A and B are shown apart, each in its own frame.
Chain A
Amino acid sequence: MAEQEEQPLTASGTPTSGPSRTGRAVALARLLHSECTDLLRLYKERETFLSNHTPDGGRMVSLSPEVEEPSAEEQVQLLHSALRQCLGLLHCVILKEEEEWGQLEGDYETMKKTVRARLEHLLFSTKDLVETEGTTLEVTPDHQCNEEVDGAGGVFSLKMWTYRVLLELIHWADHAAQTLHVLHKEREGTGEI
């Protein structure tokens, strides 16, 4: 945990020496995946009824590729879009929970903010990787947070919805790691990070 927190959280895309940009992006996505997993673990520790529960229903964030076989860059662009939606969901979780419970302190709250910052960082990285003159990528959250959560809108539904969001974050962080790794292999010619 401490090692993870020592990772840079800046959104700067300034090239630095060391691993390539794609390599750093893959590492960042893997780190995000790990932190999202930890975030879910902390959430389950608080809401124990979720410990063995697997929610049904489809993905909260879905992609509809315009082409049937997108290239690696196009896949990263789609990924970027999905990550924006994830960031929007996470923002919404933070807002709703604060509204519901007030200002909280603890490992879960800290990790939520860490994941949000890491996700923003990853968005900057993907934008830096695939943005071209013809395409402009945003890094702001793509969620208005004015929609009702699942179910009847009660607190229990909020908890279930938060659980789904956290699962979604894990899924897309993992997907980001894989997609960026494909891009890394294409660009760098090696799978090693």
Chain B
Amino acid sequence: MRCSSISPASKPNCRLWLICVLSIWALNADAKIVLTVPHEVSLSPNTHTQQLSMSWLGGDAATFDVIILRTEFNETVFYDTVSATVNPMSGRHQWNWTSVEPLECTSLSIKIRSRDGQTTSEWSNTEILQGKDVPSEINFQMYPQDRIVPVGTNTTFCCIVEEGTEFAGMNYSSTVMKVKRLSRRTYASTVVNQKASGRTGTNVVCSSKYKQSLTGAVVFVGYPPQPTDFVCETYDLVSAVCRWKEGRNTYLHGKRVTRYSVNKRDCPKEGSNKCSFSQWDGNWTLVAVNPLGHSSLTDSAEISHRVCPVAPVDLGAVVHAWDATVMWKWTYKYSLPLVCQVELTNSGYNTKLIFTGVGLQSVVLSNLLPYEDYDLQVRCGAQKNFWKWGNWSDVFTFRTKSSAPDAPDVWMWMNRDNTGLVVWKPLTRLQSHGLIKRYKVTLCDPKEEQTCIKSLPPGTCSVPVNLTQLASFRSDNKVVATVTAENDAGVSQPAIIRLHLTDVEPPTLSRAVYTDNSFPLVWQHQANVTCSYVVEWHDATCSHDCHVEWIKVAAGSTNITVESDNFQPGVRYNFSLYSCPYDSPQKKQCWQGYMQELTPSRPVPLSVTQEGSSVVLTWGEIPLVDRRGFLLGYNVYSNNGFKLTLLANLSDPGARKFKVQGLSASSYKFTVKAYTSAGEDTGSTVSIMLERNIYQLILEMLLSLGGISIFLIIVTIICYKKRKWVKKAFYPDIPEPKLPGDWSRTQGPLNVKPSHHSLVHIVERPDQDSKEALVVIPEQDEDDDGYGIGDEPVDTDEPHSLRYYNHVVDERPIRPRFPDSSASSSSSMDSAHTDVTYTGIQTSGTSLVFQLDPQGSSEGHHPQVDQGVHCGAGGDYQPQMHPMASNIDTSLASPDPFLESQASNCGGYKPQNSWHLDSPTEACERSSLAPSLGSPTSVASTQFLLPDGEECGEEKRQLSSASTWFTNLLSSTKP
């Protein structure tokens, strides 16, 4: 721009500037030419590290472009600008490249050029690193071989198949790998995050087709060493032994195992983890090396601070009953103060004792037990600057000597017959102090100054005694028993017991409850008792020579916990507290208890008796041995064979009977179960057949008959007293008919002939057969038609009748009669021309029909069925009625007041009697068709329709007599 602004006079300056620019450009062109093309490229592969070292000659450039290609496929593996170092001696540039794949996998082509900024030289000639896949290498191969890698790394394997075959696949252990083809024959695959391999490594296998050949490699995946706890110590105050722990598992073994060295001295291979040195060196360095790395640990100490005495040897002892002296020897001489630990083991219990001393070689063990086996071990350490305990010596065993046994623990059991047992507890191993040879029991009788000694074998723990023969016992009950035990070492102190009776019952009997595997017993403190106690217990069911156990209780105690392995469930135990048991034993308190209550093992003995309509269940007591618990009561059940129904729960254990009331005559079963806190027993069952009391039944019958008789008598008396009324009510006088004139005297005898119209027709209706269907059918046709014949043709020769459906009623003539009729009436039945004729039928109290024949001829006969109609017609005959009779009829009670009132309202003739007693007679007369009644009939009844002539005859006689009696009775009441 400046040039453009200058004047033409300034053209020479512009030319100068242009020349300067061209000169500079020319100089730069000369500098580019200076970059040297790398040459004499040399390749140096390290197949183990997969590193390719390149060196070349190439001028002064500091940076170079490097390109690495897979030769066959011309694929770029690496292309970047690198800074190469220059070997000052040779002047060659050098650069290292690490390949992901093993360098053997395939051939690589390498080219290099110099770079200076953006300026680069020409590429060097291509250098080829021959792979193993070249045609000259025909074998089936895999790389890398025997690689050892840390856990978690990635490794690329390549497989070069044989010429003429085809790649089939690659497996890492049992896993199929994904492969990438690197060249015509080479396939590669990368395993990532590898896990630790087994002892024989991890197999990587490549297979080919057709030939089914295999090749492969083994890779070992593990960890570098990491030892711990490296320490050195001395056993003999001269030499040194260094130890360590391997630490983390390296998973490498055999050729690849970790090798250790201490202070550059190799240590034994696998396993021991220690190095020994003949002289102490204050500073120690452990180096652990394996193919994956190395590790080092150091330790430094003065020898006096690392003393670890060896185990004592040749142990021996001088043994007594209660103590022993134990001695030992040292492999090395220790002139320093030692602290030693003695471990004593006796019957599974061990005790550690500490002893000190300079070069300690013996100790005295006291407080041992006689005749006991002891196991002993000793170990020691430096008392000053204690480092650690040395090793335990071998076990040394010894047995202490015997000693006189302890006095036995003695007690007694006295029966009520002054015999008994002196008992003692067998001496335990710790009390025996040796093998017990015998027990001696001595009974002293001070009165007679004689002594009875009994020697008993070791297993004995009781001896029977009989005090009745001892004078002292007879006088003041002072007999003393002494028991001693004897072993090889001597005789025990005597155990003395004063024998006494135990039948003095204590003031109270409490209940002991088994808790926490024991019976806790508590009693009041007794100020007057200054001596000790004994608590004894035994099976409550035992009464003679019982197995008794006991425990001593210190003076002043107010409770004790009784434990025993002999306690059994379901057994009642008696516990007794004795004060001053060995001088003047006195029973202070008693308890009873069960370790565990069970249900009774035996049911109650049950019986049953009947008391009228009640049943009394009675049962006995369950024997104590079978109760197995404190009885709480009884449950009474009704047992129907399938189910128990609780009748009563008797919470009184003393209950022995139960009454079941209000039972009817039947068969019953009852079950009674006693129960404890554990539940019911199996129960006793009784059965009973409850029968009615025959005497009671007879009594009831007699009472009933008596009552009826009294009632009848009262009725009779009342009837008698009221006979007038009765007569009027039931048997009124029949007034004499008053006729004009005295025709009656001249008139001949009445020829009473039964009317043919006084019949009842019984019509049987086949479709109805029940009595309820009995219906009175009035022959209204005849009524409606007056004297004519209705629509239904009626045979006028037939008597007017009442028809009953479905029931046979006799067709007898209903005859009125007078009970006290005159002789004229006897033949009235033969005449149909009676002036007054009453006929009717009374059927079971349902209907009362009067059939009137006022004309006395069949032609003028009109059936009168319906009373209403009958009454409406006014009746042809109006008997003279006593006015009072009508009143009585309406006022007195009647079995059928309705019918009676109808009869009254009709205002017709009221019969004097309507008893049915006549009916059978009539029935029978009807059946015989003997129209013998000739007198006017006041009442007719058809209540008894007995077809049997004989029965009728018989009943006729009976009724005749009854009616006669009653007639007489009534007649006697007539004025």
Contact = CB atoms under 8 A, between A and B. Distances in A.
A147 interface: no
Question: Which residue among A47, A49, A99, A103 has the maximum number of chain B CB atoms within 10 Å of its CB?
Answer: A49
B218 interface: yes
B81 interface: no
B217 A156 contact: yes
Given A49-B205, A152-B145, A101 B199 contact: yes
Interface string A97-119: 01111111000000000000000
Nearest to B140: A151
Contacts of B141: 152
B759 interface: no
Contacts of A156: 142, 145-146, 203, 215-218
Nearest to A53: B214
Contact of A100 (B205, B217, B255): B255
A50 to B, nearest CB: 8
A98 B199 CA distance: 12
Contact of B254 (A46, A49, A102, A152): A102
Contacts of A159: 200, 203, 218
Contacts of B214: 49, 53, 160
A30 B282 CA distance: 64
B563 interface: no
Contacts of A154: 145-146, 217-218
Interface string B109-125: 00000000000000000
B252 to A, nearest CB: 10
Contacts of B255: 99-100
A104 B199 CA distance: 9
Interface string A140-162: 00000000000110111001100
Contacts of A47: 200, 203
B211 interface: yes
- How large, as a class, is the contact surface on chain B? 20 to 34
Contact of B203 (A49, A98, A100, A101): A49
Interface residues of A, number: 21
A53 B270 CA distance: 34
Contacts, number: 56
A56 interface: yes
B171 interface: yes
A135 interface: no
A103 B199 CA distance: 10
A48 interface: yes
Contacts of B254: 98-102
Contacts of A152: 141, 145
Contacts of A98: 254
A159 B205 CA distance: 12
Contact of B200 (A46, A54, A56): A46
Interface in B80-137: none
Contacts of B203: 47, 49, 156, 159
A48 B217 contact: no
Contacts of B218: 154-156, 159
A99 B257 CA distance: 11
Given A100-B254, A102-B257, A154-B146, A56 B201 contact: no
A47 B146 CA distance: 16
B450 interface: no
A41 B254 CA distance: 23
B213 interface: yes
Contacts of B146: 154-156
B770 interface: no
A101 B217 contact: no
A10 B200 CA distance: 32
Contacts of B253: 101-102
A159 B214 CA distance: 12
Contacts of A99: 254-255
Contacts of B142: 156
Interface string B132-166: 00000000011001100000000000000000000
Interface string B200-240: 11010100000111111110000000000000000000000
Nearest to A54: B212
A80 B45 CA distance: 50
A99 B270 CA distance: 13
A48 B199 CA distance: 14
B174 interface: yes
Interface in A144-193: 151-152, 154-156, 159-160
A99 B200 CA distance: 11
20 contacts: A46-B200, A53-B212, A53-B214, A56-B211, A99-B254, A100-B200, A101-B253, A102-B270, A103-B270, A104-B199, A151-B215, A154-B145, A154-B217, A155-B145, A155-B201, A155-B217, A156-B203, A156-B216, A159-B203, A160-B214
Interface of A: 46-49, 53-54, 56, 98-104, 151-152, 154-156, 159-160
Q: Which 9 A-B pairs have the closest CB atoms?
A: A154-B145, A155-B218, A102-B254, A101-B254, A102-B253, A156-B216, A49-B205, A100-B254, A154-B146
Given A46-B200, A54-B212, 14 more contacts: A49-B203, A49-B214, A53-B212, A53-B214, A100-B200, A101-B199, A102-B254, A152-B141, A154-B218, A155-B200, A155-B218, A156-B146, A156-B203, A156-B217
